[in-house]
Structure 1
């Protein structure tokens, strides 16, 4: 066994200029020293004889959780011209490394989560093991070694990953990509930082050469540039032995390349110059100014206490400025909009620079441009003027919470050690963390104000980009500087619009007597069902929060069926009225006051619709329960009295009809083809609906909650919560009239079809292929479990093949109409224009192959174990994802007993699913008789 070289501290690898850049002469509190902070001595740190580095840290919580990282000090900056794009490609090839043991598949089926990311100076690989044991830890370290030194350059696998990387470089929004690229080029041009051409990267990847890829691997993937970082519930000695065993035999090449020049290229120095640029935007004709503010990121590469001190000051100032900006922007004609403290262009500077941004609408008469800019700059300066003790206290409280978590969980610790390895960033000991925490407590208002004054200055490191402004209307550089000096010499106080909103207890009116019809009934899975005196049903299901963030959080999901009425216009008016409740204010309060109330009381309240139902969603902490219901009742009883809200809402709804977002932006077009008679909102109804009609529908709609069901889930005790909430739901108005309108009916047609959907502003193709099938009803739990298993296998089959020309192809299945037994499998992928037919052919081949070969026993066993782990996590706890609301809603709508699936699922998976049954189901259910193909292509030449 090789000897271990023990190191006391890590040499700092960045240039002195980078560390000291931006620190103006100033006095510091005595405890704010500039000496490097030693590495936390509780981490076992060392290097092997070959230079391979390791960090091993034992943590107590969560039990059995382990994070593993492999860091390679090489990224896109290390590429030669012939290798551009290859660092990213190599990361993909490594992550899906094809060798006899196929680590990626084995790791996944053990419930471990592999990830990788390529940066400019570092590539990192990660495995998360939620329930570690010796076998999984050994497998994880083998995977790290596979990525570090055992990459197989199989031609076919490299071709697949080239397709995936090219797919990742495509966008669903070419206009936004173009705009961000334009911004990025402008911001980078006065800091002497390399600008990479995406077009050149695409060209290099398409004309691929294996030689330069192998050379990049040989030059930079070597043990003296690599580190293993293991954090979690581990045995330090056994992990160290495994590291020595796995990595001691790795060798460095004889002629090692040096990275000194690369690191120099990587260092940025802001020179203080402003820029004044103009360009034309033919897609968005709006005339506007975008102002960018560049500042050193003091949260990057912190080495000393002085670095942490600057970081605290910067975060306090930015926190206060963003909170203030939100108040400024909560009006219909704000002096600026879209203020953000970390614009996406920050990523172009590799986190060394923080880019803030704001937009100024200049669509007024040209003579008003100077006035609008003056108002915007005055408002900008006020964001940093007259900072108060209370604001510093609130910012300090937020930062204390953030800092206390910085080195307090496995995720953050692993990343901190990675930064220590790659750039020498400090990872302080518990004692030093306490000292830094105390330092944060001592920061005074005048120190924060001094830092804020620097950011408020308009004469340095600001970029002013004028868009669609005629040359004769542009303010010249001298006029801009005159404006800056005028604003600088004028005392400005922060004076935002008033947003406070207090709600009276009188909003909530309750009648006496019992609120329930009969006793509450609780089933075996802990779901309680209650029918109230007004006929509304409540379903309650408590579960555990996954972290402190979700402690005492309660979620409400209410729904009732859409009804057809006498014509679609009637139901569309109701849909719009329901949606308007989310956007508008209420009573005498405008929408901005309502938004402030929601934020101040940590509430969420949303009114919307899905395919078949009106939906009401709410989230609140138990202590804010009454605040939530006060707003809820005011919303349903009193529409807003603000005419500006209606005009603004109408413009927003029209804009949404033309805007795409998300991976399924075209799904609505497919649904319209499937269900042409289903109610939908279009420009015509928005043009014709008046405020009077909308508010009339609003009042009628919310005057009757008949047929509503409410599901309550989250962190609570059922009996106690039921006592608190039943009076609110029992007070909802419910009519006694008989139902005379049927629910919206959507009959799916089982037929073959092939449709092309043309959309504007696309620069690529998309495809969705559906394979609907009629399954015998009623559908039993075992059939549903088998379908769930098939979906996993189908997705893997499609993903492996279609990644050759798509970034994230996927396949799955879902019920189109469970009552009638209509299920559909589907495939979704994106493609380069002109390659879509080849991809469709590949998809068809894989469907045929999957039907013929099915899955094997090893895959089935691994998938069952994975699904059992996911199932336990989903049903027992909640976080950002909560399993119960949608599950219960579907069970209620399909008139199923929710106990059945929950109780039968694990038993069926463990004991009653055979390989023969799964493969027979693949042949019987995944059929092409009614295949429906939808191609989404550009309508016109893209921007």
Structure 2
């Protein structure tokens, strides 16, 4: 989550966008549960065991805890405080105070007054917003705190912070009044077409239940006017130990943490007169609803059918079997919709059908369609035709058998990674266990049980599952559309007629045309490794192949059963004229959408189903390459795919026409959304008004030529001698080298060694202000950008990172905490070496239109202070603490090394440059940051782009 406080509304309705979850302690120590066996698997009603690797207990006051040792990442721990209290618990005059209370826990507690909490954590290397976080939902409020675990004092204080969050907020009236503005600014950010349509949809969608009356963000009238005593009442009623749990997972000593929890949390007290914690529900009334909502800023017409059922809460073996059945069902039905999307003229822009969680006690079968302009009936009927076909014939045996096999492959691959899973994965399971009573039996149990139960799941089971959900009761139909299309939208009778007409059609049975065959008919003639160099400083190996291809290998044990692969070469679309740009820019997408070798797109997806392979070729402005991943068992298949992309990429006119059709449909009302207008303007201006940075349009689509795209793809992937491949992960170098010789050593070469061209696509110089008037809501968005020529280098890059971070700290302190004018100001820095050395530093914020000038002035004032006085030593130390702590974690992460090696190869920089990090960090100081700010933050080279509402008096 990007911000300090994140409002999370947990709704999975796909087409509805929601802006948005002591000594006398009774300790329960779980003994290792027996793995499922053929003998006991039949006991369907048996409650699933809790993961034996977690220690759980409940104190005499009702406070619950879960503790698990997990060494990935090393020297790190993550703590979550879960509260079974959300917006549903609010009185009428408290609407929004569950979320407001979440904010206040960051604005002063017993042991960390005012903003000392954030200040302390930043000094410990924990970033404000990115790491320290929380969310409020209808039923829960959850606080998140990741910490270093290798310093006892920090770990001890972490438990104290969680204790303060459980019951230690000071709720100072002055701080409450200051925070009103922050919460209202957060609410402002969510305003727009989706929010306005939700106001009409939610009460009906939630069956007039309390869910529709208690949205977590609350009401302006309450947030502006509530008395501190009202917030105190909510806090005292609901923040109590019998509704709370602490989850601690990480590189810790479990016994020590348990002792600390008992010491800190046993003295929490429940109120003498406890309010009943009502379990609010959405009642199923067997009634159907039909809702339409339109808005002038909505850009597409969408229809959703939602058939509601009581939620499946996985508690027993039978529940878990049903859970697997749903996964299989969703996979097969998704494949059918995916095939619809691959037609030459797809019946809709997007469509899907899935059984999943909705909200609270409700699951739903959702059928979703985003229609082409003027073609709602066609799109809806195409989707409904699949539902009718499934109702008549069910799934086929070939679909079912392959999906089961693929599911087993997937869970086996997941099981192989169980010893190197990150702590976050386990936290999520224990949260669900506490908050929703959903079982958390652990990966070992799930893997064993799945293998045993899968043969017992039949095709009839899945077809019966569909019959259960496919009903004309408890069915909601929701249509959202642009305001201008309101008069042409169908009514409920029309939709029912459409359904009836499809029911009367003769629909042919589904036929699965997939036939598995090898990707390659025969192996290529291999090349040879002609040079091997050990990069000892980074524990990696560099190979040069006989065709000139370069390969960097870094074998790690950071993540079991996982290999990340990247490839990069200079050039990209910069090598092509503006007239050919659209074809070049889309070439990789069009070829990927066509398939590979003898497989078309759908067949290739089915061939790869159950594997761990993810592979994507790309062509960007100044380079081309691959981003990919695979397990060791799937690596050879991945390398075969690389070979085919170089030697036998597929060109599919149907895939091309499908893309053009869908793209034109999505462009029809694009300009009606003010945010599109704003970000299109940013792209155009920051791209120096190059035609390559202007908004997408029908005219641009008409410039795309499939034959030209295919030719360009073949050209940029014709010279393997210009590529560097990087492999990071779980592999044996001696075992991987023969595969590299076979497939990468056989890649074609031209030895042209092309370089990227500098097209001058960068922000213009000078003082520029652009105001865009668009949008109905009283909200403004501001982007300030400094840019120019740059001295690219590791030390300078770190100084620029420091500028961005210390400025971010100051803007949060001033714009948010002091002036209460924003929710989450953001500072970002970009620097590049290719095609030329340049930088850009951008500051983004959302606010009330009336505050734009004031907040810009405050921002520029902080920049002026940075340039004249430099940053405070405290803020520099905060940056260094965070950067050093992150660096420690990065050095033990495959994704970091994969990205690092790829970028070093692209920039042709020293692969071992990273070993300089510790020395360079010691040289970062306020004076160096001040000097860099003076050099690069020049107000004579500042672009201001501001989005204001249409009727603003600005």
Query: Normalising to structure 1: TM-score of the pair?
Result: 0.80
In the alignment, the residues of structure 2 paired with residue 431 and residue 542 of structure 1 have an alpha-carbon distance, to the nearest angstrom, of 29
- Cα deviation, 1:54-83, whole Å, max 9, x if unaligned, reads 325353654655443323332101111221
In the alignment, the residues of structure 2 paired with residue 314 and residue 578 of structure 1 have an alpha-carbon distance, to the nearest angstrom, of 34
Are 2:108 and 1:68 equivalent residues in the alignment? no
Are 2:715 and 1:701 equivalent residues in the alignment? yes
1:120 to 138, 145, 165: 138
1:45 is matched with 57
CA 1:892–1:305: 2 relative to 1, 3 Å: closer
Please give the residue correspondences for 1:226-625 in structure 2 after superposition, counting only pairs within 5 Å. 226-232=244-250, 234-235=252-253, 238-254=256-272, 256-260=273-277, 262-263=278-279, 266-278=280-292, 289-299=303-313, 302-303=314-315, 307-308=319-320, 310-323=322-335, 325-327=337-339, 329-332=341-344, 338-341=351-354, 346=357, 349-350=359-360, 352-359=362-369, 375-381=385-391, 384-385=394-395, 388=400, 391-392=403-404, 395=407, 411=424, 414=427, 418=431, 422=435, 440=453, 443-445=456-458, 448-449=461-462, 451-465=464-478, 475=493, 495-500=510-515, 502=517, 505-506=520-521, 509-510=524-525, 514=528, 516=530, 520=533, 522=535, 524-526=537-539, 528-530=541-543, 532=545, 534=547, 536-544=548-556, 546-548=558-560, 551-562=561-572, 567-585=577-595, 589-599=599-609, 601-625=611-635
1:898 is matched with 911
2:9 is matched with none
1:33 to 45, 51, 73: 45
Are 2:117 and 1:103 equivalent residues in the alignment? yes
How far the C-alpha of 1:87 sits from its partner, in A, is 0.7
Aligned residues of 1:813 and 1:825 also touching (Cα < 8 A): yes
How far the C-alpha of 1:553 sits from its partner, in A, is 1.7
How far the C-alpha of 1:91 sits from its partner, in A, is 0.6
2:7 is matched with none
How far the C-alpha of 1:786 sits from its partner, in A, is 2.9
Q: Secondary structure at the match of 1:644?
A: helix
Are 2:856 and 1:873 equivalent residues in the alignment? no
In the alignment, the residues of structure 2 paired with residue 636 and residue 603 of structure 1 have an alpha-carbon distance, to the nearest angstrom, of 18
- Structure 1's unaligned 5+ residue stretches are 11-27
In the alignment, the residues of structure 1 paired with residue 380 and residue 793 of structure 2 have an alpha-carbon distance, to the nearest angstrom, of 70
2:939 is matched with 928
Aligned residues of 2:568 and 2:906 also touching (Cα < 8 A): no
- Cα deviation, 1:174-226, whole Å, max 9, x if unaligned, reads 44555666554443237775444689624433445433222212222234443
2:854 is matched with 838
In the alignment, the residues of structure 1 paired with residue 554 and residue 604 of structure 2 have an alpha-carbon distance, to the nearest angstrom, of 29
In the alignment, the residues of structure 2 paired with residue 333 and residue 650 of structure 1 have an alpha-carbon distance, to the nearest angstrom, of 9
How far the C-alpha of 1:297 sits from its partner, in A, is 2.0
How far the C-alpha of 1:88 sits from its partner, in A, is 0.6
2:98 to 77, 83, 87: 87
- Structure 2's unaligned 5+ residue stretches are 1-21, 31-39, 481-485
2:786 is matched with 771
Are 2:232 and 1:214 equivalent residues in the alignment? yes
1:882 is matched with 896
Aligned residues of 2:774 and 2:947 also touching (Cα < 8 A): yes
CA 1:194–1:579: 2 relative to 1, 3 Å: closer
How far the C-alpha of 1:904 sits from its partner, in A, is 1.0
Aligned residues of 1:565 and 1:571 also touching (Cα < 8 A): no
Q: Secondary structure at the match of 1:460?
A: coil
Aligned residues between the structures: 897
1:6 is matched with 26
Aligned residues of 1:42 and 1:429 also touching (Cα < 8 A): no
- Cα deviation, 1:877-913, whole Å, max 9, x if unaligned, reads 22xx43443x34544454432323x12111232x444
How far the C-alpha of 1:827 sits from its partner, in A, is 1.0
In the alignment, the residues of structure 2 paired with residue 738 and residue 373 of structure 1 have an alpha-carbon distance, to the nearest angstrom, of 49
Q: Secondary structure at the match of 1:341?
A: strand
- Cα deviation, 1:446-472, whole Å, max 9, x if unaligned, reads 772474144353333332346669588
1:25 is matched with none
Aligned CA-pair RMSD: 4.8
Please give the residue correspondences for 1:913-924 in structure 2 after superposition, counting only pairs within 5 Å. 913-922=924-933
In the alignment, the residues of structure 2 paired with residue 533 and residue 429 of structure 1 have an alpha-carbon distance, to the nearest angstrom, of 48
In the alignment, the residues of structure 1 paired with residue 161 and residue 291 of structure 2 have an alpha-carbon distance, to the nearest angstrom, of 49
In the alignment, the residues of structure 1 paired with residue 255 and residue 632 of structure 2 have an alpha-carbon distance, to the nearest angstrom, of 45
CA 1:545–1:670: 2 relative to 1, 3 Å: farther
Aligned residues of 1:500 and 1:596 also touching (Cα < 8 A): no
Aligned residues of 2:826 and 2:843 also touching (Cα < 8 A): yes
Are 2:803 and 1:799 equivalent residues in the alignment? no
How far the C-alpha of 1:765 sits from its partner, in A, is 2.7
Aligned residues of 1:303 and 1:426 also touching (Cα < 8 A): yes
